């Protein structure tokens, strides 16, 4: 079964302000995007589980025009605060890479 790392054109994270993190998963084609969407794996429940946040706190947006999915979640530690290990939020996409998608 392919993993996101194998089929996504882009999988990245970044800050969405100092208190939120945005995760983006982008595919090359509409066909692949639709297969992933139809699989039903990539969604708010998965993001909540991977990032240990409440599902209600996950803003999940499929974006068919860009063949992409976007999720925004609260950061555990605000960007730049004591204990923050990733000030830009650029390394937080790693848990998504090993997610298997049954397509």
pLDDT at 24: 98
* Nearest-angstrom CA–CA distance, 95 and 44: 14
Tell me the pTM: 0.93
- Average pLDDT across the chain, whole number: 97
- Residue range 67-89: mean pLDDT, rounded: 96
pLDDT at 27: 98
pLDDT at 9: 98
Among 99, 17, 25, smallest CA distance to 63 is for 25
Model pLDDT for residues 32-77, shown as the tens digit of each residue:
999 999 999 999 999 999 999 999 999 999 999 999 999 999 999 9
Domains of the chain (ranges, CATH numbers): 4-75 (3.30.70)
The pLDDT confidence band at residue 8, using thresholds 50, 70 and 90, is very high
* Nearest-angstrom CA–CA distance, 70 and 26: 9
pLDDT at 97: 97
> Which tokens in the block code for residue 51?
């990032």
Q: Which long-range contacts (CB under 8 A, 24 or more apart) does 79-83 make?
A: 79/15, 79/17, 79/18, 79/19, 80/18
């Amino acid at each position: 079964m392919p993993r996101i790392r194998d089929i996504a054109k882009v999988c990245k994270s970044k800050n969405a302000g100092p208190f939120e993190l945005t995760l983006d998963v982008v595919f090359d084609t509409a066909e692949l995007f639709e297969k992933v969407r139809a699989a039903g794996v990539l969604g708010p429940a998965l993001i909540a589980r991977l990032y240990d946040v409440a599902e209600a706190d996950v803003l999940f947006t499929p974006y068919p025009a860009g063949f992409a999915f976007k999720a925004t979640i609260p950061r555990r530690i605000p960007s730049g605060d004591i204990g923050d290990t990733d000030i830009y939020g650029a390394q937080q996409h790693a848990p998504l890479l090993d997610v298997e998608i049954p397509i």
